[in-house]
Homo-oligomer: A and B are copies of this chain.
Amino acid sequence: MSAIKLAIVGVGKIVHDQHLPAIAANPDFALLASASRNNTIDGLPGFKTIEEMLAAAPEIEAVSLCMPPQYRYAAAHAALTAGKHVFLEKPPGATLSEVADLEALAASKGLTLFTSWHSRYAPAVQPAKAYLAAHAPTAMHVIWKEDVRHWHPNQDWIWQAGGLGVFDPGINALSIVTEILPSQVFLTSASLEFPENRDAPIAAELHFQDAGALRVLAEFDWRQTGKQSWDIIVDTADGQVKLSDGGARLWIAGEEQPLDKEAEYPSLYRRFAALVKAGRSDVDVAPLRHVADAFMLGRRKVVEAFHD
């Protein structure tokens, strides 16, 4: 099979930092073009809209959609309707209902739809999952605290309704939680802190349980200066499992474990190529469903205004 002819839609920081190197290193893909309102990729034909691009380059077979989630549905629908496979950056959409609609459309057309969750490919994730499958977790504590001014400077869309606020990084934690736990969990209570001048939360505290005795506490905060925390600590009867640095490092019962090198986006593109070749989709909304549940079930608290 020759390389999959790929295009990128929505060219921003994550595309330059992650997508382009991963695609360049993967012989299963040939990057043909991009579409983006304001940006282009050096050396590639650039279009303003996906519609223009698909009309000008009908040989494109697949697209990676990297724009903010509020704009993802229209592009995904246009791509699937034109017969293209679709890779969705996280989160897969602004609503769960639109993802359900895309899933049905992809299935009806025999195309691949891939809801990507890059943090699930962090090197600690599969070893942690294997350990927890053999050693039942009794409690989990998720601490995801970072400085929004550093990581998302002046990104207005992230503060708008639908931009998810602190759940934009927090959903990465939830994508790991839902991957490594041997049981399903669901929210029982939550509190969300909204700056008085913003439509998305700056902090959240989430309490989950499973059908048994497992309890999960997740704390997300965007006001963390100094040391940044992306940690997941799991208690088992046989000792503690700790994933830190977003899953880049792993301790089991106090011992740091040797891990593979970080390769989240290369792994995502390997997975996407395998799905396209197999004619299958991978649509998992569990992390976004927890976020929607948190907005639905959570109590809101208004906190002081946030200015970049």
Contacts and interface: CB of A to CB of B under 8 A. Distances in A.
A97 to B, nearest CB: 4
Contacts of A185: 97
Nearest to A80: B211
Interface in A94-117: 94-98, 100-101, 104-105
Contact of A292 (B162, B296, B302): B296
A73 B211 CA distance: 9
A295 B291 CA distance: 10
A94 B291 CA distance: 13
B95 A293 contact: yes
Interface stretch (A36-44, A56-64, A144-152, A186-194): A186-194
Contacts of A77: 211
A77 B161 CA distance: 34
A298 B161 CA distance: 6
A133 interface: no
B186 A101 contact: yes
Q: How many copies does the complex hold?
A: 2
Top 7 A-B pairs, shortest CB-CB distance: A292-B292, A97-B186, A95-B293, A98-B186, A295-B295, A295-B296, A101-B184
Given A97-B286, A298-B161, A299-B199, A73 B186 contact: yes
Given A161-B189, A286-B97, A289-B96, A104 B184 contact: yes
Contact of A162 (B96, B105, B296, B300): B296
A111 to B, nearest CB: 15
A245 to B, nearest CB: 27
A300 B165 CA distance: 14
A97 B187 CA distance: 8
A68 to B, nearest CB: 13
Interface of A: 73, 77, 94-98, 100-101, 104-105, 161-162, 164, 184-187, 189-190, 194, 199, 210-211, 286, 289-293, 295-300, 302
B199 A300 contact: yes
Given A194-B300, A211-B105, A299-B161, A96 B292 contact: yes
A184 B100 contact: yes
Residue among A94, A97, A98, A161 facing the most chain B CB atoms (10 A cut-off): A97
A155 B104 CA distance: 39
B293 A96 contact: yes
Given A77-B211, A94-B296, A162-B296, 16 more contacts: A94-B297, A95-B186, A95-B293, A95-B296, A96-B96, A97-B293, A98-B186, A100-B289, A101-B186, A104-B184, A161-B190, A199-B300, A289-B292, A292-B295, A292-B296, A295-B295
